[in-house]
Amino acid sequence: MEFRNLGASGLRISAIAYGNWLTHGSQVEEDAATACVRQALEEGITTFDTADVYANTAAESVLGRALAGERREGLEIFTKVFWPTGPQGHNDHGLSRKHIMESIDGSLQRLGTDYVDLYQAHRYDHETPLEETMLAFADVVRAGKALYIGVSEWRAEEIRAAHALATELKVPLVSSQPQYNMLWRVIEAEVEPTCRELGLGQIVWSPIAQGVLTGKYKPGQPHPEGSRATDTKGGDAMIGRWLRDEVLDAVQRLEPVAAEAGLSLAQLAVAWTLQNDNVSAAIIGASRPEQVTDNVKAAGVTLDADLMTAIDEVLGDLPERDPGKTQSPRRSEMFG
């Protein structure tokens, strides 16, 4: 396993992180989820990412039980706060001081730990003063409940404003967690350069575009049974944007490119994200242990310039690059 610093911080994390969005507590039963976590540990993964909203808190509980008994100092456990959980009352979402302070305690209890290594704002909250949010995060750090703080899917200007307050409050804002893969490159224009300047590292999610970049979805053919595209618990909605024949055709044309590098398509996709030196880790998910074993082989792989050019030539204008696609919902629009 390759290890990288999380941004400019001294925290070292595994370049392949294990995440349990859409899997633990939802798509897969707990025994299968535990087997995937055990395989991740076997493969040298030490960094585990979750969120309170995943499976309405169940994912945190499953991960906590799967990691029970492991040496806590040898792990990096990340979670997030913003989206509603539980009964979804009027204060059960967002980044208010009340919601942050109550949510961290719930997350720690479910994860079975006294602290998380990284506590992340899962989206930007347009209806809470940023000063209130950052002070609450600072107090979480000072209480020893989190070691570092980060954000997820924030725009460049929001990250810059938060970093200024974090500097003033003397708390370590060290990371951004955006979607990033060969087909979704919206961070490259603004978010990534800003984070590079400020010392934040990227922990990227969906490096294989919800499975599309594995090549298992064929143009003009039914989706594989049991795949994310057939999952009615949320997976099908997320992957739908990629299931166009022009995208699926292009992915098939990446097969010889991957073969030239001695990689599977999934390994090529994960390795591609890790070529960006502002990426501290790529988050993989799995419903079967063998998927973990396959994906971790992307760690430490170097793709030469000709190979990177070949990927761009195959994909052409298909990748989304508009920085405006990074958006956080307004709570009033979601919940009234």
54, 124, 148, 180: the active-site residue: 54
Q: Are 37 and 63 in contact (CB under 8 A)?
A: yes
54 labelled catalytic:
yes
281 exposure class (CB count in 10 Å sphere: 0-12, 13-18, 19+): buried
Please give the DSSP secondary-structure letter assigned to residue 249. Answer: H
7 exposure class (CB count in 10 Å sphere: 0-12, 13-18, 19+): buried
Spatial separation of the C-alpha atoms in residues 97 and 105, rounded to whole Å:
13
322 exposure class (CB count in 10 Å sphere: 0-12, 13-18, 19+): exposed
**Residues shown for the chain:** 336
277 exposure class (CB count in 10 Å sphere: 0-12, 13-18, 19+): exposed
Q: Are strands 76-81 and 116-121 parallel, antiparallel or unpaired?
A: parallel
- End-to-end CA distance of the chain, in Å? 46
Q: Which two tokens stand for residue 285?
A: 């998910």
Most distant pair of Cα atoms in the chain: their distance: 55
Phi, psi of 238 (to 5 degrees): -75, -35
Q: Which residues, listed in sequence order, are joined to residue 80 by a DSSP beta bridge?
A: 120
Spatial separation of the C-alpha atoms in residues 320 and 323, rounded to whole Å:
9
For the CA atoms of the chain, what is the radius of gyration?
19
Identity at 260, one-letter amino acid code: E
Provide the 10 A C-beta neighbour count for residue 10. Answer: 10
Q: Which two tokens stand for residue 125?
A: 């909250």
Spatial separation of the C-alpha atoms in residues 63 and 48, rounded to whole Å:
8
Helix (H, G, I), strand (E, B) or coil at 7: coil
Annotated catalytic residues are 54
